[in-house]
A and B are shown apart, each in its own frame.
Chain A
Amino acid sequence: KAGVTQTPRYLIKTRGQQVTLSCSPISGHRSVSWYQQTPGQGLQFLFEYFSETQRNKGNFPGRFSGRQFSNSRSEMNVSTLELGDSALYLCASSWGGRADTQYFGPGTRLTVL
């Protein structure tokens, strides 16, 4: 069974630009969650999508948004990039039930110059 895939693996952008990251979950999984990992703040929850609906949201500004498609693939968008958005963005998929194991992808490394 294929794991969670994320594209692209690396991105370099400049301040003020926007970026879209993609996540393909494990086949059959309906929940996709996004996390940001930085050396200063650690791993922080961004949002979760289940059956094309945002079910949970973390404490991030509105510049961070996402969506989920009918095939459960998810995209995350960050508009008006700031230097502090440089991070590893991880997505995870699961069946969607409480405490179901979340399987993580390899992440997208975003660098904002």
Chain B
Amino acid sequence: AQSVTQLDSHVSVSEGTPVLLRCNYSSSYSPSLFWYVQHPNKGLQLLLKYTSAATLVKGINGFEAEFKKSETSFHLTKPSAHMSDAAEYFCVVIGGSGGYNKLIFGAGTRLAVHP
């Protein structure tokens, strides 16, 4: 069965410093992976997605993620954090066979950005 594990429940960075949010996945076949962001009292917004094309995926707002099959990882990075990046981030994998649009979410990582 497909699953994702977000390795940190909370990450705190200073404005202007790099961001690293870690995600490992488990999949019996080539996965489709996503990162979504949720700002307080808002719905989920797609940051980026990987669907077996380029392993380095660029997303919105300067975020990118690298798919590493050997490490079963899909970590999210950003070179320089901005105050507006403070939010909860979810690593997501598409569900199993027949699960066309069943998204399986990680537990989330809450990102705090300090001035």
Contacts and interface: CB of A to CB of B under 8 A. Distances in A.
Interface residues of B, number: 24
B104 A45 contact: yes
Contacts of A55: 100-101
A99 B32 contact: yes
A56 B43 contact: no
B100 A98 contact: yes
A100 B45 CA distance: 14
A101 to B, nearest CB: 6
A98 B51 CA distance: 10
Contacts of A35: 103, 105
Interface string A23-56: 0000000010101000000111100101000011
A61 interface: no
A98 B94 contact: yes
A37 B36 CA distance: 14
A10 to B, nearest CB: 11
Nearest to B31: A99
A43 B104 CA distance: 8
Given A99-B32, A104-B44, A107-B43, A56 B103 contact: no
Interface of B: 32, 34, 36, 42-46, 49, 51, 90, 94-95, 98-108
